[in-house]
Amino acid sequence: MTNKTIRLSDALYDYLLSVSSREPEVLRHLRAETASYPEATMQIAPEQGQFMTFLVRLLGVKKAIEIGVFTGYSSLCVALGLPPDGQLIACDVNPQWTSVAERYWRQAGIAGKIDLRLAPAVETLQQLLAGGAAGTFDYAFIDADKESYIDYYELSLLLLRPGGLILVDNVLWGGRVADPGAQDQATEAIRRFNLHLKEDARVDLSMIPVADGLTLARKR
Ligand code: SAM
Ligand code: CA
């Protein structure tokens, strides 16, 4: 037994999945296709995706935003948890990767819930705010370029209603955040981001060591 977060050996991780994973076939296929791409490790972990679907249902999310789509695994997890009249605005800049995402959204029958915006996400978020969407979103997932995390967070916070949830991916960054020798831009950006949230009185905060580290921030 331990009163610290348990370290997951490969065997223990396989066990966790074997007794809890309910990954739908369409997500399994998307994961298999993405595994053949050199950028495959950008995809979220399956247990994280299941957790995100769970949260979307738990909170009764109707209006969501995602920043960083790639081949669509996390967006599909969110869309599967939305009600039929729910909406996900999905932000990315890469038409090749998101065309894979669109194919799987159609296969899963939820393409109608997702509005893909191919533009730098800061522009999309600013456009939404300019269009009067402040305070109207229930949920945001941040998973694009790490150097812009603070901007994505600040803009998402404006878009969120009180009680809404922001999820932020890769906050433990393969352990590099705790390695003083790691001083590359992305690692420094994630450290800055984590400190930015530590004392932010506008949110309730929880950092979960699932996959590569996931921060949950609930707007007060
Ligand atoms: N959430 C995805 C999943 O579950 O597979 C993984 C997202 S991947 C880590 C990051 C994505 O952010 C890439 O698809 C990349 O094209 C996108 N991206 C990078 N810079 C961006 C920007 N300025 N605006 C919007 N998207 C951006
Ligand atoms: Ca990620």
**pLDDT, tens digit, 9 for 90 and up, residues 156-183:** 999 999 999 999 999 999 999 999 999 9
Distance between first and last Cα of the chain: 35
Q: Beta partners for 116?
A: 90
Ligand 1 neighbourhood includes 71 CB (under 6 angstroms): yes
Residue 49 · residue 74 · CB < 8 Å: yes
Please report the pLDDT score of residue 193 as a whole number.
Answer: 98
Ligand 1 neighbourhood includes 120 CB (under 6 angstroms): yes
In tens, the pLDDT along 92-149 reads 999 999 999 999 999 999 999 999 999 999 999 999 999 999 999 999 999 999 999 9
Ligand 1 neighbourhood includes 61 CB (under 6 angstroms): no
In tens, the pLDDT along 97-108 reads 999 999 999 999
In tens, the pLDDT along 24-59 reads 999 999 999 999 999 999 999 999 999 999 999 999
Ligand 1 neighbourhood includes 143 CB (under 6 angstroms): yes
| Residue found by looking up tokens 């053949």 in the block | 36
Residue 80 · residue 55 · CB < 8 Å: no
Q: pTM above the 0.85 mark?
A: yes
Mutate to test the pocket of ligand 1, among 23, 34, 42, 96 (most ligand atoms within 8 A of CB): 42
Please report the pLDDT score of residue 119 as a whole number.
Answer: 98
Could you give the 3-state DSSP secondary structure of residue 48? helix
